[in-house]
Amino acid sequence: MIINRTPALALLIALRHQVGTLVTLAVALFVSGCCLMCPKAVEEWPAEQGVVVDKDTGEPIEGVYVIGHWEGYVGGHNVCFHAEGTRTDAQGRFVFPAWRNTGPYNTTRYQQYAPRPYVRGYKDVGGHITRMEMVRFTGTREERLAYLWKMAGSTCNQAGSSKRNLFPFFEAIYLEAKELSKTQEELEKLDKYRYWAAQQAIGVDGDETGSVSEYKARINKFLEGHLR
- Residue 116 DSSP SS3: strand
Q: How confident is the model at residue 77 (pLDDT cuts 50, 70, 90)?
A: confident
Q: Express each pLDDT in 149-189 by its tens digit.
A: 999 888 898 898 999 999 999 999 999 999 999 999 999 99
* Rounded Cα–Cα distance for residues 55 and 61 (Å): 10
Q: Express each pLDDT in 182-220 by its tens digit.
A: 999 999 999 999 888 888 888 877 665 567 788 788 888
Q: Where are the domains of the chain?
A: 9-38, 44-223
**215 φ/ψ angles, rounded to the nearest 5 degrees:** -65, -45
pTM for the full predicted model: 0.78
Asked whether the beta carbons of 198 and 222 are under 8 A apart, the reply is yes
**Mean pLDDT, rounded, of the chain:** 83
* Rounded Cα–Cα distance for residues 171 and 97 (Å): 22
- Residue 63 DSSP SS3: coil
Percentage of residues in the chain having pLDDT higher than 70? 80
